[in-house]
Chains A and B, each alone.
Chain A
Amino acid sequence: MSAPRILLRGLMAAALVLPLALAGCGGNDDSSSSGKTELTFFWWGGEARAKLTQQALDLYTSKHPDVTFKTTWQANQGYFDKLATLTAGDGAPDIFQIDDNYLAEYATRNVTEDLTKYKDSGKLDVTKFPESLWKYGVVDNKLAGMAMGENTQGLVYNKTKIEAAKQAAPTTGMTWDAFIAWAVKAGPAAKTAGTMDPSADYKAFWVWLRQNGKQFYNGNQLGFTKEDVQKWFELWKGARDAKATPTADVIHEGNATDITKQLVVTGKALTSWVWANQMPDIQKNTKDTLGVVAYPGDPSAQWARASMYFSVYRGSKHKDAAVDVLNFLANDPDAGKILGTDRGLPSNLDIRKTVSATTTDPAMKASIALEDELVSKFGPAPSVPPKGHATVKTELIKAAEAAQFGTADPAKAAEQFFTAAQAAISR
């Protein structure tokens, strides 16, 4: 055999072995040997959140000098791509932030550690949480994540513009028809559209469904029919025809998940459909003063939702330490003070009380006021959306936009969404 061929064979073998060898170096289990533990921690959010989280973790390290953190954070866009890629390479962070769009995806594939035993032993103390809130982290009878804050649906409106146009502000409990009639009148008076068209917005559709005795999901099934979707699309076709909403191209902008593109921020509508804890972020992006009320219809259809969770990676080598950190972030009064309401209202009701009493941000105050007002009315929380929910959300946007641009009538768009949604969750 010639020398090059031997060499080539050696190289090929090396190329095959090298990745394996490198992978072998990756997992460093240093907790046992030196007593030091480094936890990796990954979340999405802005700079403000990064600063607060880092402060809270520093506080933990000062109390437990043997535990340090390696933190990574980034914007929402691309976060789940990266998390999935890290998981695929068996390199998921020990602790990561997740929300109910993806919790079931990760939990049903056993990426998240089942925290039930920690909850039962009291190492993860959820006794001060509202019961429905920590239960909103349960998937297939396993506690897949710890709720790190609470929020609910909120209709945010532009107080400044509405007052300048001498119009009444929307109120909690007004009917859908009354709301659309309000938008038809208030919009032109304020020289803009009255409301963002939320037909592509799953949370608005969800609240509306609950008011009509249905659900978005019943376990791993859709909780509504094709006819329900059609009615929903027709409701908003009527609103568009009556000029309660902007034109389809402007609505499309507002369908982006990016909070800065919300029409109430860009001044293209008087109201937008958001989560109430997003108020401070939205307020930051506009000079006008904003207010927030519940979605139209009976507010008891709304529920206390876990705005996001922290989960522990099942393959983590430091699960006990990671759970202790979660417990600290949720239940330590000082950590609670630092984190404030950045991830939603604190889950621990005692901490929520102190934080609510001391907050000075008017936008956050408005969001807390809404939550306080609704807390006695909240209906039971639905179960966490099943696997495939993220796809269902984009399919709803696609179908609703087809109806908005007139490429399909509400009946056809409804059928298209229903079929696609069913395929997405039964995969």
Chain B
Amino acid sequence: MAVGTRPTSHRPQSGPAAVQRRGRSARDRGDGRAGYVFLTPWLLGLMAVTAIPMLMSLYLSFTNYDILTPWSDVEWIGLKNYQRMFTADPAYWHAVKVTLVFAFIATPLKLGSALGVALLLNRSFRGSGLFRGLFYLPSLLGGSVALAMVWHSLFDRGGSVNAVLGWFGIEGKAWVNDPSTALGTLILLAVWQFGAPMVIFLAGLKQVPNELYEAAEVDGAGSFRKFLSVTLPMLSPVIFFNLVLETIHGFQGFTSAFVLSGGTGGPVDSTLMYTLYLYIRGFANYEMGYASAMAWVFLITIGLVTAVLFRTGRFWVHYSDGDD
């Protein structure tokens, strides 16, 4: 993991370097040609399965394409899909709200849990490797359908969660089937899958040089002070990396919502995530043009959120140049 170190050696420098580059250009071109040849399969794949479909979807977002009608018959309707989305589709705004609630609650909780457990597992003790593996396991199972089904039965009326609550005399309910708690169970499932950011945090913690802690101790810092003044700043690039990744991940929540609600976003739209709503519009209602427009707004929104994160990152992400 190269997070936290920034390459400093290959920066273009002043005059002499430029001359040097021009001098090597013939060989560079040869290298470049070989590079392109090696890249060919990837470039073909990029074109066929990413670039061309994306451009098609951009085109379709301005049409009334419904999947079943042949391409040649689709009608250009201009910005109507976008107009309808923003002004005439209350379910759309509901889906936006659900997604924002999900992303802004699940992401910080997940990162907090990941960092907390990473700090605990960072020291070596008997079986620490085993624990690291066990905590990582849930996120290996990731977006799997099976996991969502397990979650469903855990939080169902006769599920284990209610059995445990029963020991304390609390009467449970079908948490996954109640509009007031269904999204909560999804958030819990997302938080529980904190293994992937945890592993990255662990890697980051290993990179913090021990001398800094020793120096802090000499200055009389306690463990909390050490965490605030050494660990957090040294870890900030890793935190930033995880934050960006998990925020995007949070916006894209689909599988668990799809499985737990049987593909409907129910009960009463409480788990209608953006991507799930997009899927319903495209594949159940046959409004692929509209779904494409939704996808493009989604892409741009995620791009903006990421850009904002990068902006704010300047103020709190600390890169230590040159160390290894």
Contacts and interface: CB of A to CB of B under 8 A. Distances in A.
Partners in one complex: yes
A180 to B, nearest CB: 23
25 contacts: A3-B32, A4-B29, A4-B33, A7-B37, A15-B43, A15-B44, A15-B48, A18-B44, A80-B283, A84-B283, A88-B68, A88-B288, A106-B68, A248-B267, A249-B157, A249-B178, A250-B177, A252-B177, A255-B266, A390-B284, A391-B285, A398-B264, A398-B266, A405-B268, A407-B268
Given A84-B286, A391-B285, A405-B267, A3 B29 contact: yes
B67 interface: yes
B278 to A, nearest CB: 13
Contact of B32 (A4, A87, A88): A4
A394 interface: yes
Main SS of the interface on chain A? helix
Contact of A85 (B40, B44, B67): B67
B246 interface: no
Nearest to A394: B264
A394 B165 CA distance: 33
B138 interface: no
Contact of A407 (B37, B52, B179): B179
Contacts, number: 104
Contact of B68 (A111, A390, A398): A111
By size class, the interface of chain B is 35 or more
A15 B52 contact: yes
Contacts of B47: 11-12, 15-16
A391 B177 contact: no
Interface in B258-300: 262-264, 266-269, 280, 283-288
Interface in A78-94: 80-81, 84-85, 87-88, 90
Interface in B237-262: 262
Interface residues of A, number: 46
Interface in A3-51: 3-4, 7-8, 11-12, 14-16, 18-19
Residue in A2, A109, A252, A397 whose Cβ sees the most chain B Cβ within 10 Å: A252
Main SS of the interface on chain B? loop
A163 interface: no
Interface string A62-99: 00000000000000010011001101101000000000
B173 to A, nearest CB: 6
A143 B287 CA distance: 25
Contacts of A391: 284-285
B36 interface: yes
A253 interface: yes
Given A109-B68, A248-B178, A249-B177, 11 more contacts: A3-B29, A15-B52, A19-B52, A87-B67, A87-B68, A88-B67, A249-B178, A252-B267, A253-B177, A391-B284, A407-B179
